[in-house]
Amino acid sequence: MESTTRPLDPDTINRMVLDGFPGSRNRCVEVGSDYAVAHLIASDADLRPGGYISGPTQFSLADAVLWYLVFGAIGRMEPMALTSELSIRFLRPAIGTELWARAALDIAGRRNVVGSVRVWTVDETKPCSVAQGTYALPHQPTPMP
Amino acid sequence: MESTTRPLDPDTINRMVLDGFPGSRNRCVEVGSDYAVAHLIASDADLRPGGYISGPTQFSLADAVLWYLVFGAIGRMEPMALTSELSIRFLRPAIGTELWARAALDIAGRRNVVGSVRVWTVDETKPCSVAQGTYALPHQPTPMP
Amino acid sequence: MESTTRPLDPDTINRMVLDGFPGSRNRCVEVGSDYAVAHLIASDADLRPGGYISGPTQFSLADAVLWYLVFGAIGRMEPMALTSELSIRFLRPAIGTELWARAALDIAGRRNVVGSVRVWTVDETKPCSVAQGTYALPHQPTPMP
Amino acid sequence: MESTTRPLDPDTINRMVLDGFPGSRNRCVEVGSDYAVAHLIASDADLRPGGYISGPTQFSLADAVLWYLVFGAIGRMEPMALTSELSIRFLRPAIGTELWARAALDIAGRRNVVGSVRVWTVDETKPCSVAQGTYALPHQPTPMP
């Protein structure tokens, strides 16, 4: 079917997220079968004294980019893919107003997708946090409009 | 000194947080030398379709309650205590509009404080997530006004 | 059936483990529907200079006690329950020659069981490590002799 | 000084480990300033029914390769570098009799070193587990003979 052979692209994902999850503040900027990249512009509420982006904001972007990775890895958007577990390590202050995250696929199984994430503000080689986590897939694909 | 012998109470903590971190949306409701409890009222942006509270919102409360636990464990507010790492497991949908979290102390060392967290909406015996994590303490106590 | 109503006991579990996993060096000492306790006597290979029990040995006991917790939580031995993920935090040197671990149930779902673990040598209130982790259950119960 | 300018090599590390930690069964096969590779030949006690290498054995190798990564990252052997925390995710059965692990540096700070690990048996692109973890460095370098 066309819908399964047409590769996913960030615009399609961002439209679905905007429709279904209006509270989401990040966007997918790249997605492939084994990686994804997401981006977030920090709001005042994300900033801590000293001008660094809070840990929970970093977590939210790590969680989102893993979700996009799931879409890329299974070849379809699956809003009912849910985080099972996620561990995050904070490495250095996230000085800046923009946040980027890249997820790399570790495995896409029938029940779970596991990936590793790097989060940074300006220089990808100087990440402010790294994470690893698992998304659980639903037994049946969720019907999409 | 008065400041070190007067036990910490939630009001003192909440005042410091409100002053220094105006973006914070949770509050400390209980704190002792080996535990803390925090509470958050979900906003629209925290809710996912179906009415459950998002994973990142749960993470943010788990992270906050561990911070309050640090204050209780070391006997003073320490805004420069920073999360080193935190792992969270999502157990069931967080159906509701309020979120609670309880942290229990695992160890308070010279450099780190480790604690375990349970997060729930209505019934503490049915947690929506559990977490464990580490806060790093600064070398020198941060002077407080 | 008798086999499902007869509660699990440590002897039954230890016999199964001894038969199926002869390399195992720990034993289950307590098990219930929401907890388990395991015990290990350290060998020379488990000890590090200074006489403390190595991190991997602590991990192996944390992993084992979660397996026994799974058996207690689902009410049957399930050798094909496999660790999905486990995170461990080392709190203080594990001085001693015996190691204990207690697992508490966080959730027993259809696909996964999650639990929290404390590991200690002499005093349970002074754990040498804490852990949290997930076991995945097979789709079908494994037939037991 | 000669000792700081001579780059670390696997033989030097393996000699130290063999001397100080005779129970260790793995060896370092590569080390650089931002990576390390370790190798282990499984013994009977490492194998589970069906011929796969146990989770705790995989953990032990992940833990060891992070230790070697610490040595490479700080430019000296530091036996008192200790694991603070390590989380591991098991992806597929570790079928085989040999185990490999590669650690990549996430950050080398003054107090901590964080790295990400991939563990495999035959094909590095099909890891049996992935891990992330933190080593704590001692305040003072440990004098080496």
Give percent of chain B above pLDDT 70. 95
Checking DSSP bridges between strand A82-90 and strand A129-136, what pairing results, if any?
A: antiparallel
C129/chain D closest Cα distance in angstroms: 9
Segment B61-77, tens digit of pLDDT: 999 999 999 999 999 99
Q: What's the pLDDT score for residue B6?
A: 58
User: D107 contacts in A (CB within 8 Å)?
Assistant: 91-92, 127
| Average pLDDT across chain D, whole number | 93
User: C111 contacts in A (CB within 8 Å)?
Assistant: 111, 136
User: B66 contacts in D (CB within 8 Å)?
Assistant: none
Please state, in angstroms and rounded to a whole number, the distance separating the CA atoms of residues D17 and C99.
Answer: 24
Cα dihedral: D73, D77, D78, D84 (round 10): 50
Residue D7 has pLDDT above 90, yes or no: no
Place C1 in a pLDDT band, splitting at 50, 70 and 90: very low
Instruction: Calculate the alpha carbon distances from D72 to B78, D40, D69, D113 in Å.
Output: 34, 19, 5, 11
Closest-approach residue (CA) in chain A for B46: A23
Segment C105-143, tens digit of pLDDT: 999 999 999 999 999 999 999 999 999 999 999 989 988
Closest-approach residue (CA) in chain B for C118: B106
Q: Could you give the maximum distance between any two Cα atoms of chain C, in Å?
A: 52
**C89, C114, C118: residue with CB nearest B89:** C114
Segment B98-138, tens digit of pLDDT: 999 999 999 999 999 999 999 999 999 999 999 999 999 99
User: What does B57-111 look like in DSSP terms, one character per residue?
Assistant: HHHHHHHHHHHHHHHHHHTS--TT-EEEEEEEEE-S--BSSEEEEEEEEEEE-SS
Please state, in angstroms and rounded to a whole number, the distance separating the CA atoms of residues C98 and C39.
Answer: 7
User: B60 contacts in A (CB within 8 Å)?
Assistant: 56, 59
In angstroms, what is the C-alpha Rg of chain D?
15
Give, as one character, the DSSP assignment of residue C95.
Answer: B
Predicted TM-score of the model (pTM): 0.95
D95/chain C closest Cα distance in angstroms: 15
Place D122 in a pLDDT band, splitting at 50, 70 and 90: very high
**A23, A46, A49: residue with CB nearest B45:** A23
Contact assignment for B84 to D134 by CB distance below 8 Å: yes
Residue B7 has pLDDT above 80, yes or no: no
Closest-approach residue (CA) in chain D for B139: D111
What is the SS3 assignment for A103?
A: strand
**C92, C109, C116: residue with CB nearest B116:** C116
Residue B3 has pLDDT above 60, yes or no: no
Residue with tokens 């080193």: B84
Inter-helix orientation angle D55-74/D10-20, to 10°: 120
Contact C16, C28 (CB under 8 A): no
Place D132 in a pLDDT band, splitting at 50, 70 and 90: very high
Contact C119, C63 (CB under 8 A): no
Place D6 in a pLDDT band, splitting at 50, 70 and 90: low
User: A112 contacts in C (CB within 8 Å)?
Assistant: 84
Q: What's the pLDDT score for residue C109?
A: 96
D144/chain B closest Cα distance in angstroms: 25
User: B84 contacts in D (CB within 8 Å)?
Assistant: 84, 112, 134
Segment C17-36, tens digit of pLDDT: 999 888 889 999 999 999 99
**A44, A85, A90: residue with CB nearest B89:** A85
Q: What's the pLDDT score for residue A6?
A: 57
Q: What's the pLDDT score for residue A144?
A: 82
Contact assignment for D127 to A134 by CB distance below 8 Å: no
How would you write the pLDDT of chain A (145 residues) with one tens digit per residue?
A: 444 445 799 999 999 999 988 888 999 999 999 999 999 999 988 999 888 999 999 999 999 999 999 999 999 999 999 999 999 999 999 999 999 999 999 999 999 999 999 999 999 999 999 999 999 999 899 888 7
Beta bridge partner(s), residue B88: A86, B131
C7/chain D closest Cα distance in angstroms: 26
Please state, in angstroms and rounded to a whole number, the distance separating the CA atoms of residues B24 and A48.
Answer: 10
What is the SS3 assignment for C141?
A: coil
Report CA D96 to chain centroid distance, whole Å. Answer: 19
Closest-approach residue (CA) in chain C for D59: C56
Structure tokens at D90: 């098991």
**B91, B107, B109: residue with CB nearest C106:** B91
Beta bridge partner(s), residue C132: C87, C116
Closest-approach residue (CA) in chain A for B53: A23
Q: What's the pLDDT score for residue A126?
A: 97
User: A118 contacts in D (CB within 8 Å)?
Assistant: 106
User: What does chain D look like in DSSP terms, one character per residue?
Assistant: -HHHHSPP-HHHHHHHHHHH-TT--EEEEEE-SSEEEEEEEPPGGGEETTTEE-HHHHHHHHHHHHHHHHHHHHTS--TT-EEEEEEEEE-S--BSSEEEEEEEEEEE-SSEEEEEEEEESS-TTS-SEEEEEEEEPPSSPPP--
Q: What's the pLDDT score for residue C49?
A: 85
Test the A interface: residue of C107, C112, C137, C139 with most A CBs within 10 Å = C112
A97/chain C closest Cα distance in angstroms: 31
Q: Which of B117, B16, B24 is nearest to B76 (CA)?
A: B16
